Amino acid sequence: MTTLPDRIEIRVTTRQTLDDELEQAVRDLQEAALQTRTRGILITCHEAGHYTAELSDQVPFGITRELVH
């Protein structure tokens, strides 16, 4: 059995790569969220090209939110 991530760090240099990486991260986290159905997904932009995608108790299950620092 594969352990699914709760947090994924993304570092990219192009917009296309960012879009691809974010889409994959959300798919992976959706799969993990389905196991407990208690957390949603929070995408955080820390700076240009540096993002995190994680399961969060602050986001309702079934919702994805974005936070820009």
Distance (Å, rounded) from C-alpha 63 to C-alpha 40?
5
Lateral strand order in the sheet of 50-56:
7-11, 50-56, 40-47, 64-68
The answer, yes or no, to whether residue 1 has pLDDT greater than 60, is no
Any idea where the domains of the chain sit in the sequence? 7-68
Residue 37: in which H helix or E strand, if any? none
**Contact status, residue 7 vs residue 52, Cβ threshold 8 Å:** yes
**Contact status, residue 69 vs residue 45, Cβ threshold 8 Å:** yes
pLDDT digits (tens, 9 = 90+) for 7-61: 999 999 999 999 999 999 999 999 999 999 999 999 999 999 999 999 999 999 9
Distance (Å, rounded) from C-alpha 25 to C-alpha 53?
7
